[in-house]
Copies of this chain bind each other. A is one copy, B any other.
Amino acid sequence: MERVTVEKSVLKENDRIAEEIRGELEKRGILCYNIIASPGAGKTSLLEQTLERLAGGPLQVTVLTGDIQTERDARRLARFGFPARQIVTGGTCHLAASMVQRALDEIPLDGLHVLFIENVGNLVCPAAYDLGEQAKIVMLSVTEGDDKPLKYPSIFSRARLLVLHKMDLLPYTPFDVEAAKADARRVNPVIEIVETSVVGPPGMDGWLQWLEARVAERT
């Protein structure tokens, strides 16, 4: 009983900070997406190509990338001219709103359109922690198997968008795209879905169009 009570109060404090972050970002017209997926689903490579495609364009983007150890991802992402900042959680299996708040104190928010938060690679724990985002995005790579929406319903039910990633590997792996989509919609009837690959068709267009439509709605 004691453990449950303590966990609830941690989550309540997290939600309070998340609301502060959301208020601040909305006041500034900044879209914020919390990207959640398994380790190795392709979060960093999707963001790499996203930044590469957006470089030189009108959209200003910043990435906060969470990891338990290492600053590798921020280094990978910093090559494209947009700010990228690593949050090393030091053992914690998810980002928390307080970590995001500290990071936001140190990055410029003026003129920013989109803030991506790349969560720790974990399909479970991050789902419970509001980071002040406008929406959660869940990524599922086809090599992980089509049974994941029903096995990890918490994140699929809370995400606005499902990114079905590594579609180029579909010929080499048993993955029923229609079954995965149907199961995702079973746990979340309004979830939106895009299919992506960083190395071949269907490429990144569906994802970038989704993102640009969100920015257009906002302005």
Where the two chains meet, the residues of A that have a C-beta atom closer than 8 Å to any C-beta of B are 2-3, 6-7, 10, 38-41, 67-70, 72, 91, 93, 120-125, 141, 143-145, 147-148, 150-154, 166, 168-169, 172-173
Q: Known contacts A141-B143, A169-B173: does B38 contact A151 (CB below 8 Å)?
A: no
A98 to B2, CA, bound (A): 17
| Docked CA distance A189–B59 (Å) | 46
- Contact among B6, B121, B124 for A151, CB-based, below 8 A: B121
In the complex the two chains form, what is the Cα distance from A93 to B155 in whole Å? 12
Additional A-B contact list (4), CB under 8 Å, known A39-B145, A40-B141 = A41-B144, A69-B150, A72-B150, A169-B173
* A11 CA / B153 CA spacing, docked (Å): 27
> How often does this chain occur in the complex, in copies?
2
Per the bound structure, the CA–CA distance linking A112 and B148 in Å amounts to 31
Residues of B within 8 A of A144 (CB): 38-41
Query: Closest Cβ of chain B: how far from A77's Cβ, in Å?
Result: 14
Assess the A145–B70 pair: CB atoms within 8 A.
no
Residues of B within 8 A of A121 (CB): 38, 123-124, 151-152
Shortest beta-carbon distance from A201 to chain B in Å: 14
CA distance A151 to B91 in the complex (A): 10
Who on chain B is nearest to A124 by CB? B93
In Å, the complex CA distance between A69 and B152 comes to 7
Q: Do B125 and A93 have beta carbons less than 8 Å apart? A: yes
18 contacts between A and B (CB under 8 A): A3-B6, A3-B7, A38-B39, A38-B40, A39-B123, A39-B148, A40-B141, A40-B148, A41-B144, A69-B150, A93-B125, A120-B124, A122-B122, A124-B125, A125-B125, A141-B143, A143-B169, A168-B172
